[in-house]
A = this chain, B = another copy of it.
Amino acid sequence: MSNCDCILNNLPLPERKLIERIRRRAGPLRTKGLIAGIGDDAAILELPRNCQLVATTDLMVEDVHFRRDWHSPEGVGHRALARGLSDLAAMGADPWTALLSLALAPNTPQAWVDKFLRGFLKLARKHDVALIGGDTSASRLGITADVVVLGTVPKGRAVLRSGARPGDVICVTGGLGAASVAIRELRRRGKRQTGRRELLPQPRLAVGRWLREKRLATAMIDLSDGLSSDLLHICEQSRVGAAILESAVPRAGAATMKDALHGGEDYELLFTVPKQKRLPSQIEGVPVSTIGEIVASRRPAVRILSRGQWRPLAPRGWQHFV
């Protein structure tokens, strides 16, 4: 009985069985500090000493963040968790546990749900993240997942967006634009679902942790919206400007400069480092490029040196609602 009588009836498993199935697949929870997990009203966790909690939540909505005819269920599960893990990487935090809320359309095959969980849990295990709770529901149309990731960070050591100072150099991991290229490819080849052409972003947790431990990064963000948007976020929160060199922006494979500057979902790390610090060319096996410098500015703005001319770089990254 609920406050609504339009119950959706034709899902493969009743809610209790679905939760039991998720619980079984999540496996026994040996997570440090976990007092109570799936099966009570809420999860209970005990933080390690001298650590702060880091919490983030990310939506994964059908036909907005994924398409069932383009993306494999495993890939959707992977990305649903990867988004939150990438947020943690951008704080220099260590991932710990996750909660999964899943609203399923009446036509969702149980096999889709099982494969989604497989992709989700595979990435979770890789980073020692325990699935400790969540919620399930029917939905009228389309699948929605909301994933909470909880992490820890030594007290006062999280890397915020707000610490960039004029003179800091701007760095980025990996190559940019790969996700844009993958989407163009999916679109061009039509609607056949395939796991091979889609990208499974690997959150840069080791890089984020390394930067935190070495106390090198003054500000950090993960590239989810695209370089032009996310660098502006750092400028806004730090109350500075940024100047970057187009020629220094690392492009992934077949990515165009537009892909690299504005393409979202690359989940690389963008961070700033005081000029006098030395940065290796690779961190934890991931190449790092210096692409520009933080400048004093009355208003947050990004400028780019392109073909011998400085011009403003407007944020043209992905915004769902624009």
Q: Are B39 and A161 in contact (CB under 8 A)?
A: yes
> What's the least CB distance linking A142 to chain B, in Å?
5
Q: Within 8 Å of chain B (Cβ to Cβ): is A279?
A: no
**Bound CA–CA A114/B134 (angstroms):** 26
Q: Within 8 Å of chain B (Cβ to Cβ): is A54?
A: yes
Q: Within 8 Å of chain B (Cβ to Cβ): is A284?
A: no
With contacts A3-B66, A3-B182, A40-B237 taken as known, whether A148 is within 8 angstroms of B55 at the C-beta atoms is: yes
Identify which of residues 272-310 in chain A touch chain B, using a CB-to-CB cut-off of 8 Å.
Answer: none
Q: Are A133 and B320 in contact (CB under 8 A)?
A: no
Q: Within 8 Å of chain B (Cβ to Cβ): is A123?
A: no
Q: Are B52 and A137 in contact (CB under 8 A)?
A: no
Q: Within 8 Å of chain B (Cβ to Cβ): is A36?
A: yes
**Bound CA–CA A211/B74 (angstroms):** 44
Question: Which of the listed residues A56, A87, A237, A265 has the most CB atoms from chain B within 10 Å of its own CB?
Answer: A56
Q: Are A8 and B64 in contact (CB under 8 A)?
A: yes
- Chain B residues whose CB sits within 8 angstroms of the CB of A179 once the complex forms: 1, 3
**Bound CA–CA A125/B128 (angstroms):** 36
Q: Are B1 and A144 in contact (CB under 8 A)?
A: no
Q: Mark A13-28, 1 if CB is under 8 A from B, else 0.
A: 1111010000000000
With contacts A53-B53, A55-B42, A59-B135 taken as known, whether A101 is within 8 angstroms of B320 at the C-beta atoms is: no
Q: Within 8 Å of chain B (Cβ to Cβ): is A193?
A: no
Q: Within 8 Å of chain B (Cβ to Cβ): is A11?
A: yes
Residue on B nearest A62 in the bound complex, by CB:
B140
Which of B46, B63, B150, B221 is the one whose CB lies under 8 Å from A140?
Answer: B63
Q: Are B135 and A57 in contact (CB under 8 A)?
A: yes
**Bound CA–CA A4/B64 (angstroms):** 6
Residue on B nearest A158 in the bound complex, by CB:
B44
Q: Are B57 and A148 in contact (CB under 8 A)?
A: yes
> What's the least CB distance linking A191 to chain B, in Å?
12
**Bound CA–CA A88/B180 (angstroms):** 42
- Chain B residues whose CB sits within 8 angstroms of the CB of A133 once the complex forms: 55-57
- Chain B residues whose CB sits within 8 angstroms of the CB of A140 once the complex forms: 61-64, 141-142
Residue on B nearest A90 in the bound complex, by CB:
B41
**Bound CA–CA A322/B153 (angstroms):** 42
Give the B-binding residues of A (Cβ under 8 A): 1-9, 11, 13-16, 18, 35-36, 39-47, 52-59, 61-67, 70-71, 79, 87-88, 90-91, 93, 99, 101, 103, 132-142, 144, 146, 148-151, 153, 155, 158, 160-162, 179-180, 182-183, 187, 198-199, 220-222, 226, 237, 262-265, 317-322
Question: Which 10 pairs from chain A and chain B are nearest by CB?
Answer: A42-B56, A146-B146, A41-B90, A141-B141, A41-B87, A1-B318, A15-B321, A59-B137, A45-B53, A1-B264
